[in-house]
Amino acid sequence: MKNHTSRTPHKTYVLTIDVEIDAGPKWKTSNPATYEGVYRGIPLLQRLCESYGVKPVYLISPAVLVDPRSVDLLKSLDRETCELGAHLHGEYIGPMATFLGPDFSGCDPQEMQCEYDKDIEFGKLQNLTQKFTDLFGYAPTSFRAGRFGARGWTVACLEQLGYTHDTSVTPFRNWNNIADFSTATTLSPYHPSKENICAQGDSQVLEVPVSITPELEWLRPTVRKFSDFTQCQKVIDWYETHVTPTVLCSMFHNVELTPNTSPYCKTEEDCQELLNRVEQTFQLLNERGYVFKTLSQVTIDG
């Protein structure tokens, strides 16, 4: 999986955060709808990131864009220290929205955009992009599909809508035979095919895959069921050995940072332990000389 070049590329790290409405077990949204994971979680994470020079990418769901306080908080972030992008959970936005909103209390999102008819998927992406643009005053250029439900057509839509970067591919994972990334051909950034997102092609969009090993170990230093710090270190070691250029992309959700707003952290102590694991990961990456970038700053060379 190494892409040999005449020089040794630098090592790059990107932190991506799916920004969601508060949720409970199995990701059913809070009832009544709340946004503590935005109000409290994002400032906590942003302060930690800034102390290490990490530039998080906040990929925002349509269920968050209906909340003015969340939008105001996200707008207040310094664009020199982070990036805002889009994250489609198609249930929350038309055409053919499953949940009409703006009150998204007690919703049970299960859809993947790659299951929609092509015109419906494009329409939802177009509406999400326009909503983001109306609220923030500029168009997003980075994207992730909700539940990683992307396909080649998704890439074609993103390119048409002006996106430059996607991070929906989760190598080696097969999500219920709906979004199957088990055939991913590269773990470094690549330009995907508009027919098959797992294959290299001629799209202008740059795919930055989430960092996962063949053993399905994630670079996800949040909840122990996914990845404790030791496992994160193993993922980093594996990528440095097997992948050139080494571009590490980790992900988690803002709602994992506050108690009882996700299926994971239940107490303040759980949340603090999570932040400690995130900080340990930042420290290790810093010691190893990684360059911290937003998605829009990543090139095919890292």
Examine residue 83 and state whether it is found in any structural domain, yes or no: yes
Residue 10: the pLDDT is 84
**Mean pLDDT by groups of 10 residues along the chain of 302 residues:** 49 99 96 98 98 99 99 99 99 98 96 98 99 99 98 99 99 96 93 97 98 93 70 95 97 97 93 94 97 99 96
Examine residue 5 and state whether it is found in any structural domain, yes or no: no
Q: Give me the domain span that covers residue 189.
A: 12-297
Number of domains in the chain: 1
CA–CA gap between residue 180 and residue 175 (Å, rounded) = 6
Residue 225: the pLDDT is 59
Examine residue 7 and state whether it is found in any structural domain, yes or no: no
Tell me, letter by letter, the H, E, C secondary structure of the chain: CECCCCCCCCCEEEEEEEECCCECHHHCECCCCCCHHHHHHHHHHHHHHHHHCCCCEEEECHHHHCCHHHHHHHHHCCCCCCEEEEEECHHHCCCCCCCCCCCCCCCCCCCCHHHCCHHHHHHHHHHHHHHHHHHHCCCCCEEEEHHHCCCHHHHHHHHHCCCCEECCCCCCCEECCCEECCCCCCCCCECECCCCCCCECCCCCEECCCCECCCCCECCCCCCCCCCHHHHHHHHHHHHHHCECCEEEEEEEHHHHCCCCCCCCCCHHHHHHHHHHHHHHHHHHHHCCCEECCHHHCCCCC
Contact 57, 12 (CB under 8 A): no
Examine residue 55 and state whether it is found in any structural domain, yes or no: yes
Residue 235: the pLDDT is 96
Residue 221: the pLDDT is 76
Residue 67: the pLDDT is 98
Residue 2: the pLDDT is 43
Residue 228: the pLDDT is 80
Q: What is the CA radius of gyration of the chain?
A: 18
Examine residue 192 and state whether it is found in any structural domain, yes or no: yes
Q: What's 170's domain CATH number?
A: 3.20.20.370
**pTM as predicted:** 0.96
Examine residue 6 and state whether it is found in any structural domain, yes or no: no
Examine residue 172 and state whether it is found in any structural domain, yes or no: yes
- Provide the pairing of β-strand 174-175 with 179-180: antiparallel
Examine residue 4 and state whether it is found in any structural domain, yes or no: no
